C-alpha cells in the first residue's frame, strides 16, 4: 500500500473565483488528508486547536477514536501492555521493532551505563524547598542534565535518547524520595527498568520483588508511552523543529504535560473523586457539570469518541492485581459508579464523552502507594520515550520546516481611523 501518497482524485476548492486542486493523501489507516500546500499562502486555513489539521506524517502511533483502538507501530496496545515490558516498548517506539533478546540486552547495557545522576543534579535537588510540586522539580532537574562541559546542541538524538531514558527513572525516584524527606537511592543494574524504578522509590517495601507490582508498573508505563500528536508531543516537536537540543525539547514536553487538561488530569481526577466523597453525591456533582460549574476530570478526549482503551486496560488491571491486595477500594468503586451514571447522562451522551486514561490511572497509582501530586511525573517518565521517538522521526524520516503557523489578525491597523477598535473585526471571529 502507498502510505501518505496521493490518491488520483483531488479535492477542489473555489475561493473568490480562484480554483485550487488540493491532492488527497491516503493514510495507511484512518482519515484521508487534504493537502493544502497548493494554496501557497495565498489563503490560510483557520483551525484553532488544530482540531482538523494533520501537522506531519508519522509511522509511530495510530488511534481510531470511534472504535477505541490504539496501536504503537502497528501493534495493539493491549498486546503490548500484557505481553511486553516497557523497555521492549521503548525499543519498538524509537527503533521501530520489538527487540530480540540480544538487542534488548545491548539496549539495557547502554542505559545501565548512563543512569548515574551528576553531582550538580543531586546538589540542585538538595536545594529544592519541601512542598514544591514534583512536576516543577522535574523541570528543574531536567535542566541540570543539560549542563555539561560539551554543548548539547551537538548532542546526537541517539545519545540524548540513551542519556534521558537512562536518567529519567532515577530522577523521578529521587523526586519521590525528596518529597518523603529521604535521600536518593542508586540504581541496581541487576533489576529490570520498572523493577529498578520501584526499588529506587520503595527499597524497604520490596515492591520491586513482587512480580504483580512490576508487571503493573510496566503496563502503566507502556500505556502512557505514546499517543501520536497530543499537546505535549506537539510542543516537543515544535521546540525540536527550531534545532533546539533534544534535552530542551523534552523539557518543553514536561511543561506541556503538567496542565490539568493533559497529563495533570490524573491528579485532578483523584482530587475530584475525594471531593465527591461518596456515591450519594454523584447526582449533585453531575448536575454541576451539566450547569458548567464543574468539569468531570478523566472524561472526554480530542480523539476518542468511545472509551479510551487505556482506561479499559487499567480498570481491568486494577481488578486483577490491586484488588488481590486490598478488599475494598472506595475510590475505585466510586469511580465505577460515576462512570456508569455519566455514561447514562444526556449531557455526556450528546457530546460522546467517555473515560480517558486518567480516569482510572490515578486510582491505580494511589493503590501502588504513589502520592497524588506525583502521578504526572510517572506519566512524564513514560512519555519521554514517545517524545524522543517523534523528535527522531521528524529529524530523520519525515523532516519538515520549522513549525510556524499563521494567524487571522483581528487587531488594530496603523494609520487607520483612531476610532477603529478591534471590535470592527469581531464579525470575523468564529
Nearest to 380 by CA among 164, 143, 111, 127: 164
Binding range to ligand ACO, per CB under 6 A, among 88-96, 154-162, 300-308, 397-405: 300-308
User: Catalytic: which of 85, 163, 308, 358?
Assistant: 358
CB count within 10 Å of CB 29 equals: 12
CA torsion 91→79→226→61, rounded to 10°? Answer: 90
Q: Which residue bears the cell 506519566?
A: 379
Distance CA 309, CA 67 (A): 9
Backbone angles phi, psi at 157, to 5 degrees: -65, -40
Tell me whether residue 178 is one of the annotated catalytic residues. Answer: no
Tell me whether residue 224 is one of the annotated catalytic residues. Answer: no
Tell me how far, at minimum, the Cβ of 322 lies from ligand ACO, in Å: 21
User: Catalytic: which of 224, 301, 308, 390?
Assistant: 301
Q: Which residue bears the cell 486547536?
A: 49
Question: With binding defined as CB under 6 A, does residue 302 bind ligand ACO?
Answer: yes
The site for ligand ACO, by CB under 6 A, has a size of: 19
Question: With binding defined as CB under 6 A, does residue 262 bind ligand ACO?
Answer: yes
Which CB atom, from 296 or from 368, has the smaller least distance to ligand ACO?
296
Binding range to ligand ACO, per CB under 6 A, among 109-117, 123-131, 297-305, 326-334: 297-305
Which CB atom, from 113 or from 261, has the smaller least distance to ligand ACO?
261
Tell me how far, at minimum, the Cβ of 309 lies from ligand ACO, in Å: 12
Which CB atom, from 71 or from 358, has the smaller least distance to ligand ACO?
358
Contacts of ligand ACO in 334-363 (CB under 6 A): 351, 353, 356-358
Tell me how far, at minimum, the Cβ of 304 lies from ligand ACO, in Å: 8
In sign, the C-alpha dihedral spanning 334, 337, 338, 339 is positive
Rg for the chain, CA atoms, rounded:
23
Binding range to ligand ACO, per CB under 6 A, among 140-148, 153-161, 236-244, 260-268: 260-268
Cell numbers standing for residue 142? 531536567
Cell numbers standing for residue 184? 536518593
* CA distances, 269 to each of 272, 288, 289, 346, 361 (Å): 5, 16, 14, 21, 9
Q: Are 258 and 135 in contact (CB under 8 A)?
A: yes
Question: With binding defined as CB under 6 A, does residue 98 bind ligand ACO?
Answer: no
Task: Please report, as ranges, the residues that interact with ligand ACO according to CB under 6 A.
Answer: 49, 261-263, 265, 289, 295-302, 351, 353, 356-358
Active-site positions read 301, 358
Amino acid at each position: 500500500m502507498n502510505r501518505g501518497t496521493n490518491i488520483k482524485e483531488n479535492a477542489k476548492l473555489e475561493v473568490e473565483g480562484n480554483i485550487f486542486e488540493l491532492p488527497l493523501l491516503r493514510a495507511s489507516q484512518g482519515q484521508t488528508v487534504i493537502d493544502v500546500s497548493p494554496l501557497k499562502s495565498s489563503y490560510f486555513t483557520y483551525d484553532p486547536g488544530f482540531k482538523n489539521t494533520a501537522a506531519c506524517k508519522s509511522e509511530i502511533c495510530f488511534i481510531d477514536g470511534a472504535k477505541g483502538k490504539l496501536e504503537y507501530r502497528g501493534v495493539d496496545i493491549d498486546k503490548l501492555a500484557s505481553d511486553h515490558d516497557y523497555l521492549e516498548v521503548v525499543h519498538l517506539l524509537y527503533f521501530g521493532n520489538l527487540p530480540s533478546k540480544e538487542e534488548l540486552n545491548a539496549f539495557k547495557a547502554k542505559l545501565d551505563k548512563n543512569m548515574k545522576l551528576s553531582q550538580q543534579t543531586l546538589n540542585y535537588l538538595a536545594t529544592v524547598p519541601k512542598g514544591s510540586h514534583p512536576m516543577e522539580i522535574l523541570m528543574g532537574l531536567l535542566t541540570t542534565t543539560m549542563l555539561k562541559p560539551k554543548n548539547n546542541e551537538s548532542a546526537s538524538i541517539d545519545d540524548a535518547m540513551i542519556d534521558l531514558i537512562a536518567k529519567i527513572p532515577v530522577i523521578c525516584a529521587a523526586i519521590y524520595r525528596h518529597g518523603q524527606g529521604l535521600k536518593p537511592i542508586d540504581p541496581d543494574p541487576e533489576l529490570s527498568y520498572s523493577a529498578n524504578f520501584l526499588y529506587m522509590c520503595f527499597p524497604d517495601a520490596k515492591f520491586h520483588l513482587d512480580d504483580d507490582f512490576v508487571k503493573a508498573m510496566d503496563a502503566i508505563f507502556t500505556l502512557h508511552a505514546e499517543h501520536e500528536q497530543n499537546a505535549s508531543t506537539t510542543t516537543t516537536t515544535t521546540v525540536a523543529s527550531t534545532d533546539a537540543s533534544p534535552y530542551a525539547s523534552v523539557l518543553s514536553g514536561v511543561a506541556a504535560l503538567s496542565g490539568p487538561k493533559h497529563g495533570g488530569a490524573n491528579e485532578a481526577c483523584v482530587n475530584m473523586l475525594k471531593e465527591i466523597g461518596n456515591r450519594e453525591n454523584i447526582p449533585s456533582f453531575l448536575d454541576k457539570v451539566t450547569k458548567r460549574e464543574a468539569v468531570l476530570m478523566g472524561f472526554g478526549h480530542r480523539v476518542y469518541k468511545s472509551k479510551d482503551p487505556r482506561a479499559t486496560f487499567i480498570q481491568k488491571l486494577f481488578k486483577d492485581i490491586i484488588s488481590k491486595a486490598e478488599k475494598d477500594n472506595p475510590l475505585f468503586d466510586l469511580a465505577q459508579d460515576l462512570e456508569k451514571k455519566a455514561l447514562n447522562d444526556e449531557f455526556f451522551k450528546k457530546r460522546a464523552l467517555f473515560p480517558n486514561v486518567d480516569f482510572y490511572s490515578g486510582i491505580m497509582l494511589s493503590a501502588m502507594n504513589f502520592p497524588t501530586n506525583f502521578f504526572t511525573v510517572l506519566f512524564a517518565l513514560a512519555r519521554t520515550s514517545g517524545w524522543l521517538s517523534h523528535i527522531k522521526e521528524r529529524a530523520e524520516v519525515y523532516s519538515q520546516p520549522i513549525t510556524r503557523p499563521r494567524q487571522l489578525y483581528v487587531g488594530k491597523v496603523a494609520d487607520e481611523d483612531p476610532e477603529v477598535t478591534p471590535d470592527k473585526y469581531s464579525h470575523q471571529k468564529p
